[in-house]
Amino acid sequence: MEKTVWNTIDREKAYDFASDYITFLNKSKTERLCTDYSLYLAEKKGFTELDNVKTLKPGDKVYAVNRGKSIVFAIIGKDDILNGINLVAAHIDSPRLDLKPNPVYEDLGIAMAKTHYYGGIKKYQWTTIPLSLIGTVVKENGEIVEVNIGEDEDDPVFTITDLLPHLAADQMSKKMGQFMSGEDLNAVLGSLPNDDEKDKVKGAILALLKDKYGIDEEDFISSELVFVPSFMAKSVGLDSSFVGSYGQDDRVCAYTSFEAILNIENPEKTCVCYLADKEEIGSMGSTGTKSRFLETFAAHLINSVKGGYNELYLKDCFSASKCLSADVTAGYDPNYKSVCEEQNSAYMGGGLCICKYTGARGKSGTSDANAEFVGEIRRIFNSNNVKWQIAELGKVDQGGGGTVAQYIANMNIETLDCGVPILSMHSPFELASKADIYMGYLGYKAFLESK
């Protein structure tokens, strides 16, 4: 198989698709923003909230939102829904820095914010970069306040300091994973004092928040405020062949699968796109894939299509269903060849990547798709001119990682990992090839439309 597909695809279409994707990334830096923007685009395409309809017929388009942080879309197919659905599942949360419940303090005349990192990060990568503060605050009276500081061109930004190399002899002698702790990831908030007797700078910062947002210090307890990189998604390279951005794990697969379902009309099978939260911390919680949200949504679909429901309907539907777990995989990096095995690595620009299994070492934490389903996906992709490759996530004993595939498969749904290769995964600025992004869209669309 060729290691690049650039010479066999429509480059103009790939670049145009990536342009819209960059816009999506810049509007979707948190799972809440991603849900809101996806919903906005879907309603423009005729999708209706499932709770607002009583009966469904082929061609109908519906969605459901889960607590503002995950969302699922469906188009009813011509085939009996009990014969299964075609599902693409991605996640829209990404590694970040959450504010602690009591975050604000003052030290040496500087107001600081304590953070708790979310997901797997290299801590040093989050220092000395501009950060935006984004999120939701729920006040004691129930009022909801949206905060977004750092995204507008005229906004101030935040940052986490690092030690100057002139004084870093002790720090640099430590192992990379030890020279910075999670408790060192404290962001600079400001330095102007007010007239309080103590904590003058902290008091001034809290006064600013009160004045602009009506937020008291206690309101941080019932908030979801996060620091994310403030720089925007951009084309990368002299030829602009890459997209560089925060959050491409996994919003690159979320966007491509979402765009796929937006551009489908009257499918044979009922097709579903599920954009979930909490994957980076194990898919736990009411908005993660381990919740019953997808099952509940499917049960409501069946009830609205069949005019009635029993538990066997859902079991029959899921046992006949098929899923692509749309999550990124590790791209083969020319700077770090030693962690990958050449024959079974994902090449940048090599097309959409199938991963029969993920997991760690002895396939721990993977669903390991069966050969029949892998063969079926090969047939679908080849017959629709989707350029694809197959890979593992690095060398066998090097480490590994997981996706939502195992949780979907545990619902008795045939599931296969299939995503876009990424360089610098989980960093504040990840790279994806525009060729692979476009193939992701074509591959997910071909699968959703398949019989």
Q: Are 8 and 387 in contact (CB under 8 A)?
A: yes
Average pLDDT (374-384) is 98
pLDDT of amino acid 348: 97
Over residues 292-312, the pLDDT tens digits come to 999 999 999 999 999 998 889
- Only one residue has tokens 């702790």, namely 181
Q: In 153-311, where do the E strands start and end?
A: 159-160, 186-190, 223-229, 234-236, 242-245, 270-276
pLDDT at 1 over 60: no
Over residues 323-343, the pLDDT tens digits come to 999 999 999 999 999 999 999
d(CA 54, CA 47): 15
SS3 (DSSP) at 385: coil
pLDDT of amino acid 117: 98
Compute how many other C-beta atoms are within 10 angstroms of the C-beta atom of residue 239.
11
pLDDT of amino acid 177: 82
d(CA 95, CA 281): 9
SS3 (DSSP) at 96: strand
d(CA 120, CA 336): 19
Structure tokens at 184: 């060192």
Average pLDDT (145-157) is 96
d(CA 269, CA 84): 7
- What single-letter DSSP state applies at residue 367? -
Q: What is the residue-averaged pLDDT of the chain?
A: 95
Please calculate the CA angle 89-92-97 and round it to the nearest 5 degrees. 145
pLDDT of amino acid 367: 86
Structure tokens at 15: 């670049």
Q: Band of the pLDDT at 110, cuts 50, 70, 90?
A: very high
Q: How many C-alpha atoms does 360 have within 13 Å on its Cβ side?
A: 6
The H helix count followed by the E strand count for the chain is 10, 23
Which helix (H) or strand (E) segment is 415 a member of? strand 414-419
CB within 8 Å of 221: residues ≥ 6 apart:
101, 102
Share of the chain above pLDDT 70, in %: 100
Average pLDDT (357-379) is 90
Over residues 196-235, the pLDDT tens digits come to 777 899 999 999 999 999 999 999 999 999 999 999 999 9
pLDDT of amino acid 411: 95
More confident position, 232 or 176 = 232
pLDDT of amino acid 311: 86
Average pLDDT (178-204) is 91
d(CA 30, CA 226): 8
- Only one residue has tokens 């061609």, namely 59
Compute how many other C-beta atoms are within 10 angstroms of the C-beta atom of residue 352.
32
- What single-letter DSSP state applies at residue 277? S
pLDDT of amino acid 2: 58
More confident position, 364 or 42 = 42
pLDDT at 400 over 80: no
Q: Are 247 and 29 in contact (CB under 8 A)?
A: yes
In 3D space, the residue among 119, 92, 97, 120 whose CA is nearest the CA of residue 25 turns out to be 92
pLDDT of amino acid 199: 81
CB within 8 Å of 227: residues ≥ 6 apart:
96, 97, 98, 99, 113, 115, 131, 132, 133, 158, 187
pLDDT at 90 over 80: yes
